[in-house]
Amino acid sequence: MRVKILLLFILIFTSTYSQSSNSQIKNYLDSIDRSVFSGAILVAQNDTIIDKRAYGLSSIEYDVKNNIDTKFNIASITKMFTAVAALQLYEQGKIALKKPIGEYLPEYPNETVRNSVTVHQLLTHTSGLNNFYVNDLDEIKHLEYEEISDFVPLFVNDTLLSKPGTKYDYSGTGFVVLGLIIEKVSGENYYDYIRKHILEPSEMMATSEIAVDSVVKNKASGYTSQFGENKTLKKNEYYLTKASPAGFYYSTVEDLFKFSKALRNHNLLSKETTALMLEPKVKGYNTQLGYGIDIDNRYNQTIIGHSGGWYGIHAELIDFTEDNYTVVILSNIDDGGKTGASRVADFFKKLIADKELEN
């Protein structure tokens, strides 16, 4: 009898707490100033959407509003697609996580990388490879990339930042190399593989690698403040390339919610491989990392997901593992970490995880 009463009390408390949180969420979404945040927000609990809103403009110069189905550039959230693809091939026995990449790319031009870097290290940013998007920003000509191999000359001769496996260095380069491996062992073009094995099974029909200069309905233009340093915004197309395995797919808040559901419910990977992906492997700049996913234990419940930040882009895919909330935030204006999408993300982490961020 006591057990039943306790369970009933827990059920009532949990339900009341969720209702209170959901009410605060709706009030907060009502209060967001369109002049402060530009983008779209989706909030769900137990895989059911609670609310979704759009704010600001997808085209400032033409006064076009953002909508719930607006396609935003998601920058590095793309890395989660690449990680899932690699782990799918691992499940099939086509990729071994601890073997040198030369096993799959025997003609990769950089001998040191070919013989010493493993897939595990690529997935955990411990390969010693750099982040070519940052290092070669002035050399990137965004219209010249059609295939994954087109990116290779930007980094193939670079010296390793550290001995593979010894140090965390966030690496876009490493994920492009993963894309090459995915193509080699699957026999499919990277973009085709992602569409067939990740986007379609997740019913993510609005997500794709559309080109930076493409004319597409409901695609948001990006505007950069140089990460909060300038009051005057500038278009960000100069800073973008076609999507690569490291970043720059376009998606919507609802599509990323579908991806989150598909991943957590083992529709993309087996239960065992999903657990492997979510197991903390290394310490990053602020969080622990699994395979291509952040594992944030700084709060009173584990938060998993990934962010995407670049000139004119701030994207967040956030899953709260105990209260079963999913929050997707996509913005077409960057910020300095205290306004815009950053402020929105901080609100949800504080409300749901109930603990101030610790450094």
Over the chain (359 residues), the average pLDDT of each successive run of 10 is: 47 52 93 94 98 97 97 98 98 98 96 97 97 81 85 93 96 98 98 98 97 89 94 91 96 98 98 98 95 95 97 98 97 95 96 65
Return the closest-CA partner of residue 161 out of 132, 118, 181: 132
Residues 6+ apart with CB under 8 A from 9: none
Contact present, 208 and 111 (Cβ < 8 Å): no
Side-chain-side CA neighbours of 68 within 13 Å: the count stands at 9
Question: 270 in a domain, yes or no?
Answer: yes
pLDDT of residue 238: 86
Question: 298 in a domain, yes or no?
Answer: yes
Question: 7 in a domain, yes or no?
Answer: no
Contact present, 306 and 74 (Cβ < 8 Å): no
d(CA 64, CA 50): 26
Contact present, 328 and 307 (Cβ < 8 Å): no
d(CA 183, CA 29): 42
CA 77 → CA 61, 83, 160, 315, distances in Å?
27, 10, 24, 7
**What is the tally of structural domains in the chain?**
1
**Cβ-count burial of 142 within 10 angstroms (0-12 exposed, 13-18 middle, 19+ buried)?**
middle
φ, ψ dihedrals at 327, nearest 5° = -125, 125
pLDDT of residue 211: 84
Please state whether 228 falls in left (phi above 0), alpha (psi between -120 and 50) or beta: left
Residues 6+ apart with CB under 8 A from 239: 137, 142, 224, 310, 311, 312
Return the CATH number at 304.
3.40.710.10
C-alpha 349 chain-centroid distance:
17
Dmax (CA) for the chain in angstroms is: 71
Question: 19 in a domain, yes or no?
Answer: no
**What angle, rounded to 10 degrees, do the helices at 253-264 and 78-91 form?**
30
For CA atoms 194, 195, 201, 203, give the dihedral sign: positive
Return the closest-CA partner of residue 213 out of 312, 142, 133: 142
Question: 240 in a domain, yes or no?
Answer: yes
- Give residue for tokens 């961020």: 357
**Cβ-count burial of 10 within 10 angstroms (0-12 exposed, 13-18 middle, 19+ buried)?**
exposed
d(CA 162, CA 171): 12
DSSP 142: T
Question: 359 in a domain, yes or no?
Answer: no
d(CA 143, CA 120): 31
Return the closest-CA partner of residue 317 out of 270, 264, 277: 264
Question: 146 in a domain, yes or no?
Answer: yes
d(CA 64, CA 60): 7
The residues pairing with 72 across neighbouring beta strands, listed in sequence order, are 251
**What angle, rounded to 10 degrees, do the helices at 271-278 and 78-91 form?**
130
Please state whether 45 falls in left (phi above 0), alpha (psi between -120 and 50) or beta: beta
Question: 180 in a domain, yes or no?
Answer: yes
Token pair listed for 183: 């193509």
- Please indicate, yes or no, whether the overall pTM of this predicted structure exceeds 0.85: yes
Return the closest-CA partner of residue 219 out of 102, 16, 73, 46: 73
What's the domain range around 225? 26-353
pLDDT of residue 355: 53
